[in-house]
């Protein structure tokens, strides 16, 4: 699997932790820092240390695991740790973890002293196929996802398939949802390939293919003016459901579980509005329903869900804007959806 060229940086797949060691050696950084969470500190940091030759010139900044850590308060904590450790403008931040680590770490680095270098070492499937590629950084405020952030490219991404072996099945499936989305929006062959694969254990080649698709999209439209919006399929409703669950459920939905719900609802809207066939709607609904656990979407959640959708970054002039499909493998951006339509989409899922 060849190294992928992204927006002035490389995404490494083969011997990627050795590539990271080379990168650090050649980078002439004054210091480096590793941002981990309590899980990656245990399961991933030892492997990283070993591959880097157990250097003693780095400090570790550890945050709690989970989406709650993507809050501005944790970001302030990271900034203060960097200050206390004496990080200067020639420091490097290595984000070792899932999407929370790369989004938060990327934002913290892109704003610390007006920007220091950072790289991602994504350790979850979700972050390997989604968060680590594309140069979006972000944090949440009051559980509104990624409401604050920057467009800043990492200096490199190092994807190590071995890290996936440490993941629980549920986390693997969380990443699979984004892979399925990549197929749905722009590659029907890839969608068909995924349907035939064991998605509880996706191969390295499938992961690679997803990263390549996402990279193609973000390279063409780094600031989300047009084609990049395709990646938002499933996310208008999915993010609202995810936020709702994060606030209200003891055992919250994973990102992928919420996005799978969002994709079913938005596939229904695609069927109603943008020409997705009934057979394709059924195919998408069945594939996703077979993979992901059922979630009870009560009608009493509807007002809150709409309120979250209204705060979505993609909206304009107070109108809710969705990316839909015109067919499997064919996205369709900038569809204004009325509250009634969105509720119909939610209802489609609820009544399955």
CB distance 240 to 308 below 8 Å: yes
Residue in 76, 247, 279, 336 binding its own copies, rule: CB under 8 A? 76
Nearer residue to its own copies within complex by CB, 143 or 326 = 143
Query: Left (φ > 0), alpha (ψ -120 to 50) or beta: where does 8 sit?
Result: left
For residue 203, what is the DSSP state? -
Query: d(Cα 339, Cα 242) in Å, to the nearest integer?
Result: 18
CB of 79 to its own copies, least distance (A): 6
Helix H or strand E segment including 94: strand 91-97
Nearer residue to its own copies within complex by CB, 113 or 272 = 113
Stretch that binds its own copies, among 36-44, 54-62, 79-87, 163-171 (CB under 8 A): 79-87
Question: Does residue 141 belong to the site contacting its own copies (CB under 8 A)?
Answer: yes
4-5: strand order across its sheet? 4-5, 10-12, 156-158, 117-122, 91-97, 31-37, 58-63
CB of 107 to its own copies, least distance (A): 8
Query: d(Cα 165, Cα 157) in Å, to the nearest integer?
Result: 19
Instruction: Single out the residue of 155, 152, 120, 160 nearest to residue 136, CA to CA.
Output: 152
**Vertex 207 angle, CA 203 and 212, to 5°:** 145
Task: Name the residue with tokens 């200096």.
Answer: 155
Nearer residue to its own copies within complex by CB, 120 or 229 = 229
Nearer residue to its own copies within complex by CB, 88 or 303 = 88
Residue in 1, 21, 65, 148 binding its own copies, rule: CB under 8 A? 148
Residue in 18, 289, 315, 326 binding its own copies, rule: CB under 8 A? 315
Residue in 1, 21, 65, 147 binding its own copies, rule: CB under 8 A? 147
Chain residues 245-284 in contact with its own copies, contact rule CB under 8 A: none
Could you give phi then psi for residue 316, rounded to 5 degrees? -135, 140
Chain residues 33-52 in contact with its own copies, contact rule CB under 8 A: none
Contact positions vs its own copies (CB under 8 A): 30, 72, 76, 79-80, 83, 86, 88-90, 107, 110-115, 136-138, 141-142, 144, 146-151, 310-311, 313-318
């Amino acid at each position: 699997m060849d190294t992928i060229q992204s927006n002035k940086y490389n995404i490494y797949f083969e011997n990627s932790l050795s590539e990271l060691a080379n990168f650090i050696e050649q980078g002439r950084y004054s210091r480096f820092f590793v941002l981990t969470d309590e899980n990656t500190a245990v399961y991933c940091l030892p492997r990283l240390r070993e591959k880097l030759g157990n250097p003693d010139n780095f400090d570790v900044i550890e945050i709690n695991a989970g989406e709650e850590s993507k809050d501005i308060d944790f970001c302030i904590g990271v900034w203060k740790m960097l200050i206390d450790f004496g990080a200067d403008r020639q420091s490097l931040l290595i984000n070792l973890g899932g999407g929370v680590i790369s989004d938060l770490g990327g934002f913290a680095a892109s704003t610390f002293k007006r920007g220091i270098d950072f790289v991602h070492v994504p350790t979850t499937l979700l972050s390997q196929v989604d968060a680590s590629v594309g140069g979006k950084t972000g944090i949440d405020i009051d559980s509104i996802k990624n409401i604050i952030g920057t467009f800043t490219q990492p200096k490199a991404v190092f994807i190590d398939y071995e890290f996936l072996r440490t993941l629980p099945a549920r986390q693997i499936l969380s990443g699979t949802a984004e892979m399925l989305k990549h197929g749905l929006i722009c590659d029907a062959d890839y969608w068909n390939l995924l349907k035939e694969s064991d998605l509880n254990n996706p191969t390295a080649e499938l992961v690679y293919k997803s990263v390549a698709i996402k990279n193609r999209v973000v390279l063409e439209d780094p600031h989300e003016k047009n084609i990049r919006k395709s990646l938002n399929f499933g996310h208008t409703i999915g993010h609202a459901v995810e936020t709702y669950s994060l606030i209200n459920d003891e055992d919250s939905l994973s990102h992928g579980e919420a996005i799978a719900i969002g994709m079913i609802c938005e596939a229904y809207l695609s069927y109603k509005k943008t020409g997705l066939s009934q057979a394709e709607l059924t195919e998408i609904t069945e594939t996703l329903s077979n993979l992901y656990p059922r979630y009870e979407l009560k009608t009493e959640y509807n007002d809150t869900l709409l309120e979250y959708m209204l705060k979505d970054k993609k909206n304009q002039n107070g109108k809710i804007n969705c990316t839909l499909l015109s067919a499997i493998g064919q996205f369709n951006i900038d569809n204004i959806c009325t509250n009634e339509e969105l509720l119909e989409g939610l209802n489609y899922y609820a009544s399955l």
